[in-house]
Amino acid sequence: MNRLPHETLPPTSLLASRRQAQQRHRILIVGGGAGGLELAARLGRTAGHRGEAEIVLVDAAATHLWKPLLHEIAAGTRYRQQHELDYRQQARLHGFRFHQGRLQSVERGPHRIWLAALCDDEGMEIAPRRSVAYDTLVLAVGGTDNDFGTPGARRHALSLNTPDDAEHFHRRLMALCARADLGTGRPVQVAIVGGGATGVELAAELCTAAPDIAAYGLRLQKLAQPLQLTLVEAGPRLLAALPEAVAERARRDLEQRGVTLRLGQQVAEVHRDALLLRDGSRIDADLVVWAAGVQGAEVLAQTDGLDLTPQRQLKVGPTLQTLRDEDVFALGDCASCRPDPDAPPVPPKAQAAHQQAALLAESLQRRLRGEPLPDFHYRERGNLVTLGRDRAVGALNAGGGSTIFGGAAARFGYWLLHRRHLAVLLGPLRTAALTLGECLSRRARPRVKLH
């Protein structure tokens, strides 16, 4: 039976046999983050539209959210529902197929992956554990925080890796603010572990949100600092991957807004209500967020013998093919790519995932034609870090040098990056309409999400 290009895949044995379903080469992309979804959209509009390949995207969630927005979702300064894109809508727009499911393992011999049983929020099984076959597999499952085995980190600290994580953090934060307003009358203490982009952006966004949250209370609005924020970083400075001038501007901004910085300090233990540092000091905390380190997702250990780094990332060559299997590619945070053996690996940044997705969109079409694949060359175009609702700081690489800039110009640059991502997925007209809708709706809702 022929299936229309926009139909979602059925969770049946049709998936388990690519040859039974149809004779087209199947490119299976696992992970619908910025890189994976952009790759599926580009391939769907080209190889999929021409009938050269069947493009299938798999993700555990039903919707996509640009990951750099997670700290704003967590602080409540953005509404998740306004920024989510439905994978099924994307599949219809771009001519690929979407199949919802969580990757459980890879079997390279029979060229298939296994997905865990899919259940709804009430535990009802929607689809059983099932397999999906592939001719070419692209793993784009992202990464997660590295707690370095710190006692209590997994049990007591929250993460910001997914939209659900961000919403869980926000609900906990609002509950603690309500308790403080109705009961204790003291500031809510938040400890953030990790002085990279996620930790710095979250701290700054919470500084922005705190007065708006307190304004709706009775006792919190009387406090000079309704949120007491402490950021702990093991290294000697913030934003170690960025130029020192950028890090210094971020440090001054956070300290001026009342954030306590503990630089050069390592966390020894995480308790329910405190952090214990290796120097013996204690930081009381109602809420702990772990945003230190990056490692591959746990499922990458179930990839049938593919080479992994100590950080659990897939080792890939210059063409982004895994070292042991030329039919398996990887991109983004889950991949460790070192195109130049004398250079460090490609950093786990959104811009790297965008560049890799653009390369693979061309490479996989060449592979279908039997042509040699180009090597990936990472181009560092600069970095931007948001410091709240209306400010940011960054470095722009151009003309062989680096230009440091901040304020509204940097914030506008950050906004443009999100628009560029949306333009790839929605096109310029839909992106313009969405932008206008965001501007109009902003006037009708509170400045911060209150529930």
Regarding whether 284 and 198 lie in a shared domain, the answer is yes
Q: Identify the domain containing residue 400 by its residue range.
A: 382-442
DSSP designation for 250? H
Find the DSSP H helices in 186-238: 197-215
The whole-number pLDDT of residue 228 equals 97
CATH number at residue 248: 3.50.50.60
In a 13 Å sphere around the CA of 290, the CA atoms on its Cβ side amount to: 26
What CA dihedral angle connects 213, 219, 221 and 223, to 10 degrees? -110
The whole-number pLDDT of residue 108 equals 97
Ramachandran quadrant class, 178 (left: phi over 0; alpha: psi -120 to 50; beta: rest): alpha
Tokens of 75: 């602080």
pTM over 0.75: yes
In a domain, 1, yes or no: no
Regarding whether 77 and 52 lie in a shared domain, the answer is yes
- Measured CA to CA, the distance from residue 268 to residue 286 in angstroms comes to 18
**Residues 226 and 177 sit within 8 Å (Cβ to Cβ):** yes
- Measured CA to CA, the distance from residue 200 to residue 110 in angstroms comes to 45
Regarding whether 300 and 280 lie in a shared domain, the answer is no
- Measured CA to CA, the distance from residue 223 to residue 211 in angstroms comes to 10
Q: Could you say which of 292, 309, 332 is where a domain stops?
A: 292
Residues in the chain, overall count: 451
The whole-number pLDDT of residue 439 equals 77
In a domain, 362, yes or no: yes
User: Looking at the 3D structure of the chain, how many domains does it have?
Assistant: 3
Regarding whether 335 and 300 lie in a shared domain, the answer is yes
Regarding whether 426 and 350 lie in a shared domain, the answer is no
Regarding whether 25 and 135 lie in a shared domain, the answer is yes
In a domain, 117, yes or no: yes
Regarding whether 120 and 242 lie in a shared domain, the answer is no
The whole-number pLDDT of residue 401 equals 64
The one-letter amino acid code at 60 reads: A
In a domain, 161, yes or no: yes
- Each residue's pLDDT expressed in tens, for the chain with a length of 451 residues: 333 343 344 444 444 444 444 579 999 999 999 999 999 999 999 999 999 999 999 999 999 999 999 999 999 999 898 889 999 999 999 999 999 999 999 999 999 999 999 998 888 999 999 999 999 999 999 999 999 999 999 999 999 999 999 999 999 999 999 999 998 889 999 999 999 999 999 999 999 999 999 888 878 888 889 999 999 999 999 999 888 989 999 999 999 999 999 999 999 999 999 999 999 999 999 999 999 988 999 999 999 999 999 999 999 999 999 999 999 999 999 999 987 777 788 988 888 999 999 999 999 999 999 999 999 999 888 888 999 877 888 888 766 667 888 878 888 888 888 898 999 899 999 888 888 877 777 666 677 777 7
Q: Which residues of 163-200 are buried (b: 16+ CB within 10 A; e: fewer)?
A: bebbbebbebbbebbbebbeeeeebbbbbbbbbbbbbb
Regarding whether 282 and 304 lie in a shared domain, the answer is no
| DSSP H or E stretch at residue 354 | helix 350-368
The whole-number pLDDT of residue 19 equals 46
- Measured CA to CA, the distance from residue 314 to residue 300 in angstroms comes to 7
- Measured CA to CA, the distance from residue 387 to residue 382 in angstroms comes to 16
- Measured CA to CA, the distance from residue 410 to residue 102 in angstroms comes to 37
In a domain, 236, yes or no: yes
